[in-house]
Amino acid sequence: MKLSLPAKAALLTAVLLGIFLFVWYLATLPAGTASAANDEYAALMGNSSRKTTGLPTLAQMGEVAWQHVTDPFYDNGPNDKGIGIQLAYSLARVLAGFSLAALVAIPLGFLIGMSPLLYRALDPFIQVLKPISPLAWMPLALYTIKDSATSSIFVIFICSLWPMLINTAFGVASVRRDWLNVARTLEVSPLRKAFRVILPAAAPTIMTGMRISMGIAWLVIVAAEMLVGGLGIGYFVWNEWNNLSLANVIFAILVIGFTGMLLDIIFGRLQKLVTYQD
């Protein structure tokens, strides 16, 4: 049997997933012999059919997942909302913070990239601010903004700012001299040069920065929401941990992973769109 490489890879992926699920199944098998007394005890505790060792079985996991998938947008009050709503809130915050960061980082990166003076003058600030964990800004944000939801947007803003800023500046600064010289000999106006020569030339680098920023933003939003609480997928994870519902936690983790992958795919596409072959 001859299989193409992608087909082989898909097969291997399926096998690995199978093994993982099987191990999970083994690990969550009911603890056999010492049952009689325990079952009675369990029945007394009111959850006779449920296993209490912690990790959910595959069947329980499937049940929870099915509930979430079939009813993602229910709203039973402030602490009990569907996973779709939670996800929407997180995405909205990420999008808001990320967009604000792009609005600041790309024009500023342009200026820094074009001016060696600004590059050197702002470099110390960037070098010091860049390695700060975005969550370290949280107390300051909460104090100054006095609103937890806006604070988490600010945290997303600050963490997506640096990769975009640095990549934009780098991309703009390293536009090939030849292209700039072409623009100069053609007496192209500065604005036209910025939009028709420098922007397309630096677009792949800028887009790489945006992709990195989005990846970081999605990592940070979960932690930020755990901290500020209220709504969102990060808060959902923490809330379900407090409820000791590991099935919900695991499902939320999967949702976070798949959403992150989707975001990365979208930016990968965009990156491909602006990349040119030289």
Partner 1 sequence: MGAFLEVKHLAKVYPDPGGAACEPVFEDVSFGLEQGEFVCIVGHSGCGKTTILNVLAGLEKASTGTVIMDGREVAGPSLERGVVFQGHALMPWLTVRENIAFAVRSRWPGRSRAQIFEHVQRFIDLVGLTGAEHKKPSALSGGMKQRVGIARAFSIEPKMLLLDEPFGALDALTRGTIQDELLRIVQATRQTVFMITHDVDEAILLGDKILLMSNGPRARIAEIVVNTLPRNRTRHTLHHDPQYYRIRNHLVDFLVERSRRIQAEVGAAAAPRAVSPGLATDAAPARDVDAAPAQSSVAHALDLIKS
User: Is 184 a binder of partner 1 (CB under 8 A)?
Assistant: yes
Cβ closer to partner 1: 85 or 180? Answer: 180
Quick one: which of 49, 80, 187, 269 contacts partner 1 (CB under 8 A)? 187
Question: Which one of 91-99, 156-164, 194-202, 250-258 is the stretch in contact with partner 1 (CB under 8 A)?
Answer: 194-202
With contact defined as beta carbons under 8 Å apart, do 236 and 85 qualify? no
User: Is 182 a binder of partner 1 (CB under 8 A)?
Assistant: yes
How far is Cα 130 from Cα 152, in angstroms, rounded to an integer? 18
User: Is 186 a binder of partner 1 (CB under 8 A)?
Assistant: yes
User: Is 278 a binder of partner 1 (CB under 8 A)?
Assistant: yes
- Smallest gap from Cβ 206 to partner 1, in A, equals 13
Position 48, amino acid: S
Quick one: which of 35, 53, 181, 243 contacts partner 1 (CB under 8 A)? 181
With contact defined as beta carbons under 8 Å apart, do 165 and 143 qualify? no
With contact defined as beta carbons under 8 Å apart, do 28 and 58 qualify? yes
User: Is 272 a binder of partner 1 (CB under 8 A)?
Assistant: no
- Smallest gap from Cβ 277 to partner 1, in A, equals 4
Q: How far is CA 31 from the centre of its chain?
A: 38
How far is Cα 267 from Cα 51, in angstroms, rounded to an integer? 42
- Smallest gap from Cβ 175 to partner 1, in A, equals 10
Cβ closer to partner 1: 203 or 222? Answer: 203
| Largest interatomic CA distance in the chain | 91
Cβ closer to partner 1: 144 or 181? Answer: 181
How far is Cα 111 from Cα 204, in angstroms, rounded to an integer? 18
DSSP 203-267: HHHHHHHHHHHHHHHHHHHHHHHHHH-SSSHHHHHHHHHHTT-HHHHHHHHHHHHHHHHHHHHHH
User: Is 269 a binder of partner 1 (CB under 8 A)?
Assistant: no
Phi-psi region of 231 (alpha: psi -120 to 50; beta: other; left: phi over 0): beta
Quick one: which of 74, 119, 179, 241 contacts partner 1 (CB under 8 A)? 179
Cβ closer to partner 1: 120 or 176? Answer: 176
Where does this chain bind partner 1 (CB under 8 A)? 176, 178-179, 181-182, 184-188, 192, 196-197, 200-201, 203, 274, 276-278
